[in-house]
Structure formats: C-alpha cells, structure tokens
Amino acid sequence: MKNPRKFIIQKFTEYYRDNANKIPLPTSYKKREFGFILSDKGIMLRHKAFSEPRFFRDFIKLITPSDVYHSAAYYKHPSREMGKKEWIGADLIFDIDFDHISTPCTEEHEYWTCELCDQAGVGKQPSVCSQCGGSKFKMVAWLCETCLETAKSEALKLIEFLVNDFGFPPQDVEVCFSGHRGYHIHVERDEIKQLDQDARKEIVDYVQGTGLKVSLHGLMPVSRKTGQKIIGPDLNDPGWSGKIARGVYDIIVTYNLQQLKEINGINKNIASLIFLQREKILKTWNTGNPWGSIKGIGIKTWEKLVEISVVNQAVSIDTVVTIDIHRLIRMPLTLHGKTGLKVVSIPSKSLERFDPLRDAVAFNEGTLKVYILAAHRFRIGKEIYGPYERETVKLPMAAAIYLLCKRAALLTD
C-alpha cells in the first residue's frame, strides 16, 4: 500500500492551479498577516504579507499549502515578527466547532489512528496497537451530520445575538464553513476594531450567559395584599429577558415527565405538577402571567428552569478565538487539510439551507481505488458510504480524498 501524502499534495496542487484566482482576499489585505501550513512538512509558515492579489495567488500555487489563513488583526507591519507588527485593530471573530459541543452521538463516531504506523480503527482506542505494539494514538474528528447540524444551530443562535442584541446589520455578519467541524463568524465594523481583549471577553460572557442574574431580567416574587406573587419576563422581551422566557417555554413544551424529574433541585412532585399543568401554563404565556399561574410552583423551581434555559439559549463558542486579537482564521475557497473540503463563505440568511457535505465539496470529478483501514458510515454529496473495515473500495474522488486526509485509507498499489 502507498502512503497518500504525495497524492493529496498533487490533488491540492491541481485545485489551487485552477482556483487560486477565485480566492477572495480579505478587506485591507495589505495590513493582514497570512499563514500557511506546508503540505509536505506539516509546519506553519507565518508572518507573510502581500502587496497585490497576484502575489498571494502565485504564492499559493507555488507552495501548495494544506491550509491557508489570514489574521483577524490589522497591522502597520504585518510581515514582521509578532512584537514588531504594531497592532492597529481586529475584526470580531467567533469559532463554533462541534468538538466543543456535547452531542449524544460523540462516542458513536470515535476514530483513532496509531502515531507509529498506519493502523486505524473506529470506537474506543486500544491500549496497544495490534500492528506495531505502539501505545500512542491520535483521536480523529469524524464528520458526523448530527454534529454538523448542531454546530449550524449554534451558529444561527449566534447570528441572532449579533443582529438582534448587538444591532449589527445582517450583511455585516459573515459566516464561513470551516471545511471541517463547524463555522466561523466574522464581523467587520469600525466600532469593534479597537476593542481590547477585556471588551471581547465581555461579548463572550454575554453570548454565553456568564454571570447572568435572573432577578435583573424580571423573575422575582412580588408582595401583594393577598400574598406573594411571582412575575417574570415575556416571550417578546428583548435581550436575555426574552431568551429566558422562550427557553423556559421550550422546556415546558418539549421535556417529558422523566426529564423534568431529573432536573437537579426540582422536587419530583413539583415536576409532576408542571407536567400535569403544562397546557394551562403554556396558555398563560399569551393571556396572563405564567410565572404565577400554578399554585405550588415557587420561585426556586422557576429559577432552576431558568438555569437550564440559559444553558440552552447560550452559544457554545471557542472563547479563546474571540478574545485573541492576533488570531489567524481560514480563508474562503481554500482547502482544509484534514478533509479536502472547501472553506465556504455563506450569507447569514442562507445558512439554514447550507449543506456542508454537499456545498463544500472541492473534488467532483473522477474516482479512486483505496484500501480502507476503518471508516464510519459517512456522507459526501448525496451518497452515503460505509462503514468499512480493511477492504479495497472504488470511491468518487471527494469521498476517497476525505478518507485519505483522515488517515483512514491508503492508496492501492
């Protein structure tokens, strides 16, 4: 069997030869730093700058990188080492990656490779490699449709925050499929470029609901002549108040009795009361005050439901990416070295219809016979492939390159 590295480089070379001139450079590209992972060495080449688009495109075709990046930051001297670049500002960047999101299917698509040989497998990694006796393994993120949909849902939540809560125009919110595990969200606005790390941390805390005090959003007991009553936010309230209300509403609509009973801090009898009075509570969202509609459901119970609501309404992001004012991010229409898929820019209004396993395919022509070490069931384009284990299969080029990039397959002789 042949190592696939040279073949992957050949296909990436062909892609950039045909598509380098289509790659859009970022705004103010002369003030950006560019970075590249070299395909043949696997090392990062940084601190590159380009005075004209043709120089960048010629460079791409010359070196055939596995991955291409530009800085979110603007510098006076982008090609100098980090301490001498002279930072001017930076775009606001978010990274949503299903690797940071807990999904019920995670264990179902675990995939490992031995760091010393070509051995690979699905499921839990062994303690010792059966082929070489090595004990060092690398876990590989498999492209799972459920996880990708979860990442997209998080991206849609974040867009709602940015547009409705922060007031950014939808056309200023750029979404990119990363080519692998999720999405990058970019905001280019003059008013945010000068934000320091502390200010960006405040934005992170807001979209994650960190330190949120529910009493400041309207949920509280109020004394009446006839006794104490509970009031709370409305479904249509702006900001976190409305999100809290909508989150609690969704819990009451979707949770079954067992799920309600499993909520830590809620008495099982109260959970049963919520479940039995579900219809009455839901009706009062539009006709009255749901927070005080059912006798026996007190403020502590509502606060527990709000805690879950905040978790559900918050966005799972890689916090380090947003706070880092020197971050490098992937460029649209470049390739991802771990999948062979394209980084794709998507208008925020079109994200819901975007299918990464169809719309990000770069290699649409040809077939390739590969020896598959191990592979979960996966989809590329419209077709579903696998599962496979130690077998030779002829696949469409995009599916074959995906397996080669994942080190799940080798070239046949």
Residues annotated as catalytic are 95, 97, 318
Closest CA to 185 of 345, 14, 365, 2: 345
Q: What distance in Å separates the CA atoms of residue 337 and residue 362, rounded to the nearest whole number? A: 12
Q: Which whole-number Å values give the CA distances from 184 to 30, 71, 95, in the listed order?
A: 22, 13, 5
- Beta-carbon contacts of 262 under 8 Å, excluding residues fewer than 6 positions away, are none
Centroid of chain to Cα 163: 18
Query: How are beta strands 34-38 and 44-48 bridged, if at all?
Result: antiparallel
Q: Which whole-number Å values give the CA distances from 345 to 12, 73, 149, 173, 365, in the listed order?
A: 19, 19, 17, 11, 22
Q: What distance in Å separates the CA atoms of residue 276 and residue 270, rounded to the nearest whole number? A: 10
Q: Is the dihedral of CA 207, 212, 215, 219 positive or negative?
A: positive
Q: Angle 53-63/5-19 helices, nearest 10 degrees?
A: 160
Closest CA to 272 of 260, 263, 282: 260
406 neighbors 338 (Cβ within 8 angstroms): yes
Closest CA to 329 of 35, 15, 19: 35
First to last CA, the chain: 6
